[in-house]
Amino acid sequence: MTRPGQLPDSLPESLVEFDRATDGGGEPPPSAALLPSGLRDVLPPEAETEARAIETMMGIFAAHGYDRVKPPLLEFEDSLFGGSGAAVAGQAFRLMDPDTHRMMGLRPDMTPQVARIAATRLRRAPRPLRLAYAGPCVLLHGATLDPERQVSQAGIELIGIDDPRADAEIVAVAAEALDALNVPRVSFDLTLPRLAAVMIEQAELGLDQRRRLLHALDRKDAAIVAREGGPLAGVLGDLLLSAGPVPRALAMLMAAPLAGEARRLAERLEASVQAIRARLPLATLTLDPVDFRGWQYHTGVSVTVYAGREQVGRGGQYVGGADEPACGLTLRPEALLRAAPARPARPRVWVPASAIGQAEALRAQGFVTIAGFDSGAACSDAPGDDIAEAARLGCTHILRDGQAWPM
Amino acid sequence: MTRHPVPGAEGLVFALPKGRILKECAPILAGAGIHPDPDCLDESSRRLRFGTSDASVDVIRVRSFDVATFVAFGAAQIGICGADVLMEFDYPELYAPLDLGIGACRVSVAAPEGVDLGDPSRWSDIRVASKYPNIARRHFAARGIHAEIVHLNGAMELAPGLGLSRLIVDLVQTGSTLRANGLREVETIADVTSRLIVNRTALKTRPEAVGAWIARFRAAIARRAEARAA
């Protein structure tokens, strides 16, 4: 008699084996190497390259007076998603704190955390406050083109000042950091994320039309903007096609019939462009006045940083905690390392166990030292074996007679 | 994610759709100054990538749905595809800055002739065969109906007659295929024309080159409209 789930006694042994191997005919067991989508192990040499790149950038941020802070990975969702953080709430993993039974969020972005620090623990620190940070963030969903769900950030925030020269400072500091990493073909795309919304608000369009129009603007679908734009169809159509190099795009924006808040945003952008140009006369600047892609907390002039085809960073003006004006820029180390040329690897020298005392001097000369072991089959004192062993461990040099010889 | 460098990344790749729209594209391409190798517009050619009169521009010929994918991922910087494809995929990386006014048709709901479907406002769910699962799902969801989609790549018209679905959502040009298969168009979801599409990052990072092509196509469309009016 066989109970459900139990194999009958008479089942042939081969079939029992088969049944075990296939877990009762279901899915094969998952590979231990399989990670959830958008997550990856960073291996040598990329892991070290990334760490060094982040330290290079943080060094430049520090030299410009940006003091480093380190917010936690997790915090209560009310504080993580308060203020400017509301815009990132949809991208956060949440879990319950077993102590307080309150919900915590895993940060998808660090800027709202830094804004919180500035408004709370550093509220008495003198303004303008310059803060820098670096660390991993986790997103609920990857994008179609960028499936990563864990992304590193390294950035700066300039808090307590609303000035075109502040916008220029964050762009200039980011440019210097990219330059230090030899990131090629850098361009800055300036946008006014609130301009389209302000214009649509001023035109008092219906809610449904507003939604369709904003979606069409985001996709630069000129046909739908023309159909849904109502009184704005002409001007939004022109602005949509004005995207491009700054001189022409800015001239088109300033010539557009803008009123009130929309005009004020455009004038501020013009002032920021002049301030950026003054600090970075040779930078490639583009302008897309009706683009509002990205975290939705940016309120004024915003900037997206490109290196070739990679989007390597994003920043702009926002309203910090306690309604303080602020601006900042966050770079994405993974993306900019894809754009940057590979750094030459450091020379690796194999040091036999008998000569380990000389390794420190070699390290002082810039070598990576790989210590040999005398025990084990692969090692012996025969010189031929030393070379084989050094080669097996990927060394570029071998220590012999007190000197590092190239392999 | 590891990405591979594209050889000749400074050139432009232009993606064109096979089939229905390809022939209609030819005069607009010529108007904009792109003259692909002669066998590009010949459907019987087995080549997929073609040179043009401009050494920095190559043309690839792929399925209409794939035009959107190639351009969205930046494998091609510019392309031509129907608005139906853009509605279905809604790739955030695609810009559609120009309506080319060719390839006019519509995405419609069709039902078997002579079959009483009852009152749609009482439906909770409906089974629909379509090559546009997202468009179909969104369309019915907006009416409070859960659409269970049977995703087919062709011959949708067979589905209702063979009991695969009650309705279909498909591209309709004249309606003759529907009629020939005992179906009638019951609702238009959207009117569709072909669009010039560009990759968002390409427009942001190579605005001169990409912008110049958009301007040339705009001028070509305007000239066609004038010639028609005259």
Nearest CA in chain A to B92: A219
Nearest CA in chain A to B91: A144
φ/ψ of A297, rounded to 5, equals: -90, -10
Q: Contact at 8 Å (CB) between B158 and B164?
A: yes
Q: Is the pLDDT of residue A19 over 80?
A: no
Which among A27-36, A111-120, A375-384 has the top mean pLDDT? A111-120
Q: Among A380-384, B104-108, B125-129, B205-209, whose mean pLDDT is lowest?
A: A380-384
Nearest CA in chain B to A238: B97
**Mean pLDDT value across chain B:** 92
Residue A112 lies in a domain: yes
**Which helix (H) or strand (E) is A71 found in, with range?**
none
Q: Percentage of chain B with pLDDT > 70?
A: 96
Residue of A188, A250, A309, A337 to mutate, interface with B, max B Cβ within 10 Å: A309
- A331 and A257 fall within a common domain: no
Nearest CA in chain B to A41: B1
Q: Is the pLDDT of residue B68 over 50?
A: yes
Quote the pLDDT of residue B7: 40
- The whole-number average pLDDT for the span B188-192 is 96
Nearest to A145 among B73, B96, B207 (CB): B73
Q: Following DSSP, what letter does each residue of A84-120 receive, concatenated?
A: GGGGGGGG--EEE-TTT--EEEE-S-SHHHHHHHHHT
Paired sense of beta strands B183-192 and B105-112, if any: antiparallel
Q: Contact at 8 Å (CB) between A363 and A369?
A: yes
Residues of chain B with CATH 3.40.190.10: 12-103+193-229, 105-191
Residue A380 lies in a domain: yes
Cross-chain Cβ contact A306/B203 below 8 Å: no
Residue A57 lies in a domain: yes
Residues of chain B contacting A222 with CB distance shorter than 8 Å: 96-99
In Å, how far is A176's CA from the nearest CA of chain B?
19
Quote the pLDDT of residue B44: 81
Count the residues in chain A. 407
Residues 6+ away with beta carbon under 8 Å from B38: none
- The whole-number average pLDDT for the span A270-283 is 97
- The whole-number average pLDDT for the span A140-157 is 91
Q: Contact at 8 Å (CB) between A133 and A68?
A: yes
Paired sense of beta strands A325-331 and A310-319, if any: antiparallel
Q: Is the pLDDT of residue B9 over 60?
A: no
- A11 and A73 fall within a common domain: no
Quote the pLDDT of residue A140: 94
- Measure the CA–CA gap between A346 and B151, rounded to whole angstroms: 54
- A50 and A176 fall within a common domain: yes
Cis peptide before A231 (omega within 30 of 0): no
Q: How many CA atoms lie within 13 A of A60 on its CB side?
A: 22
Per-residue pLDDT tens digits for A58-88: 999 999 999 999 999 999 998 888 877 888 8
> What ipTM goes with this model?
0.85
Residues 6+ away with beta carbon under 8 Å from B211: A243, A244, B203
Quote the pLDDT of residue B174: 93
Nearest to B3 among A189, A226, A338 (CB): A338
Q: Contact at 8 Å (CB) between B139 and B222?
A: no
Per-residue pLDDT tens digits for B10-39: 789 999 999 878 989 999 999 999 999 988
Cross-chain Cβ contact B92/A143 below 8 Å: yes
Instruction: Give all strands of the β-sheet with A397-400 in edge-to-edge order.
Output: A368-371, A348-351, A397-400, A403-406
Per-residue pLDDT tens digits for A88-126: 888 999 999 999 999 999 999 999 999 999 999 999 999
Cross-chain Cβ contact B96/A288 below 8 Å: no
Nearest CA in chain B to A38: B1
- A180 and A54 fall within a common domain: yes
3-state secondary structure of A157: strand
Q: Among A189-203, B40-54, B111-125, B126-140, whose mean pLDDT is lowest?
A: B40-54
Q: What letter does residue A205 receive in the DSSP assignment?
A: -
Q: Following DSSP, what letter does each residue of A242-297 receive, concatenated?
A: H-EEHHHHHHHHHHS---HHHHHHHHHHHHHHHHHHHH-TT-EEEEETT---S-TT
Cross-chain Cβ contact A146/B86 below 8 Å: no
Cross-chain Cβ contact B92/A293 below 8 Å: yes
Nearest CA in chain B to A219: B95
> Which comes out higher in pLDDT, residue B118 or A14?
B118
Residue range B12-103+193-229 forms a domain whose CATH class is alpha beta
Q: Percentage of chain A with pLDDT > 90?
A: 76
- A151 and A230 fall within a common domain: no
Residue A201: how many other CB atoms lie within 10 Å: 14
Reported as a pLDDT band with limits 50, 70 and 90, residue B6 is very low
Reported as a pLDDT band with limits 50, 70 and 90, residue A343 is confident
- Measure the CA–CA gap between B80 and B88, rounded to whole angstroms: 15
Residue A383 lies in a domain: yes
Residue of B205, B214, B218 to mutate, interface with A, max A Cβ within 10 Å: B205
| CATH number of the domain that residue A124 is part of | 3.30.930.10
CB pairs under 8 A between A and B: 76
Nearest to B201 among A223, A245, A309 (CB): A309
The alpha-helical segments, DSSP class H, found in chain B are: 20-32, 64-72, 83-89, 133-141, 158-161, 176-180, 200-205, 207-229
- A334 and A355 fall within a common domain: no
- A170 and A56 fall within a common domain: yes
- The total of structural domains in chain A comes to 3
Residues 6+ away with beta carbon under 8 Å from A335: A146, A307, A310, A311, A312, A313
3-state secondary structure of A182: coil
Residue A397 lies in a domain: yes
3-state secondary structure of A392: helix
Residue A36's alpha-carbon distances to A33, A42, A74, A375, in angstroms, are 10, 14, 20, 40
- A206 and A86 fall within a common domain: no
Q: Following DSSP, what letter does each residue of A19-40 receive, concatenated?
A: HHHTTTTSPPPPPTT---TT--
Residue A352's alpha-carbon distances to A348, A349, A362, A392, in angstroms, are 13, 10, 13, 14
Q: Among A154-158, A288-292, A382-386, B189-193, whose mean pLDDT is lowest?
A: A382-386
Nearest of B21, B198, B144, B181 to residue A219 by alpha carbon: B198
In Å, how far is B162's CA from the nearest CA of chain A?
32
CA torsion sign, A314 to A316 to A318 to A324? positive
Quote the pLDDT of residue A302: 96
Q: Is the pLDDT of residue B4 over 60?
A: no
Residue B4 forms beta bridges with which residues?
A: none
- A162 and A96 fall within a common domain: yes
- Measure the CA–CA gap between A339 and A306, rounded to whole angstroms: 9
- A159 and A224 fall within a common domain: no
Q: Contact at 8 Å (CB) between B108 and B188?
A: yes
Q: What letter does residue A353 receive in the DSSP assignment?
A: G
Reported as a pLDDT band with limits 50, 70 and 90, residue A230 is very high
Per-residue pLDDT tens digits for B85-102: 999 999 999 999 999 999
- The whole-number average pLDDT for the span A202-227 is 93
- Measure the CA–CA gap between A319 and A115, rounded to whole angstroms: 9
Residues 6+ away with beta carbon under 8 Å from B202: A309, B74, B77, B78, B210
**Mean pLDDT value across chain A:** 90
Q: Which domain holds residue A388?
A: 1-23+347-407
- A280 and A361 fall within a common domain: no
- A333 and A354 fall within a common domain: no
Residue A29 lies in a domain: no
Quote the pLDDT of residue A296: 78
Quote the pLDDT of residue B70: 97
Residue A303 lies in a domain: no
- Measure the CA–CA gap between A66 and A333, rounded to whole angstroms: 18
In Å, how far is A339's CA from the nearest CA of chain B?
10
Cross-chain Cβ contact A223/B83 below 8 Å: yes
Nearest of A377, A370, A221, A386 to residue A290 by alpha carbon: A221
Residues of chain A contacting B74 with CB distance shorter than 8 Å: 145, 309
Instruction: Please say whether the structural domain B105-191 has been given the CATH code 3.20.20.80.
Output: no
- What are A's interface residues with B at a Cβ cutoff of 8 A? 40, 143-148, 185, 187, 189, 218-223, 226, 240-241, 243-245, 286, 288, 293, 304, 306, 308-309, 311, 338
Structure tokens given for B195:
């669009």
Cross-chain Cβ contact B97/A240 below 8 Å: yes
Residue A86 lies in a domain: yes
